[in-house]
Copies of this chain bind each other. A is one copy, B any other.
């Protein structure tokens, strides 16, 4: 689905765009990751373009395991206005550093697991060098 360029977006549209449930969207709002979202006269939420943009970043940060609490702090900086850009940069840069370390750690563990795999492959090769031959 192509996401249209509009002033307001419905919960369903936003949920689909970011592959979140409506419940999660409301949960994020409750937790202060989004400001109090606008409403249609019916009471239904109407997300603005900047809500959607922030949600995009939130999604990214959640997908890289930033906890809700830190996301809330970040969202508060966003709400507080442009003078907090330095602080926001700080949060994001620290997160990148953490991600660097996390990726390096994953790769190190992957290497260790590979050694185990290689060991098992060796065991299999020793136990059955050729199908038609008995190991004495």
Contact A124 B92 (CB under 8 A): no
Q: How many copies does the complex hold?
A: 2
A interface vs B, CB < 8 Å? 57, 60-61, 63-64, 82, 85-86, 88-89, 92-93, 95-96, 99-100, 102-103, 105-107, 109-110, 112-114, 116-117, 120-121, 123-124, 127
Chain B residues, Cβ within 8 Å of A92 = 113, 116-117, 120
Closest 5 CB pairs of A and B: A64-B109, A89-B120, A60-B109, A92-B117, A60-B112
A102→B96 CA distance, assembly (Å): 16
Which B residue's beta carbon lies closest to that of A124?
A: B85
Main secondary structure on A side of the interface with B = helix
Question: Chain B residues with Cβ under 8 A from A103's Cβ?
Answer: 103, 106-107, 110
With contacts A86-B124, A89-B121, A121-B89 known, is A102 near B113, CB below 8 A?
no
Complex Cα gap A70–B109 (Å): 17
Chain B residues with CB under 8 A of A106: 64, 99, 102-103, 106
Q: Are A105 and B57 in contact (CB-based, < 8 A)?
A: no
- Assess whether A110 is in contact with B57, with CB atoms less than 8 Å apart: no
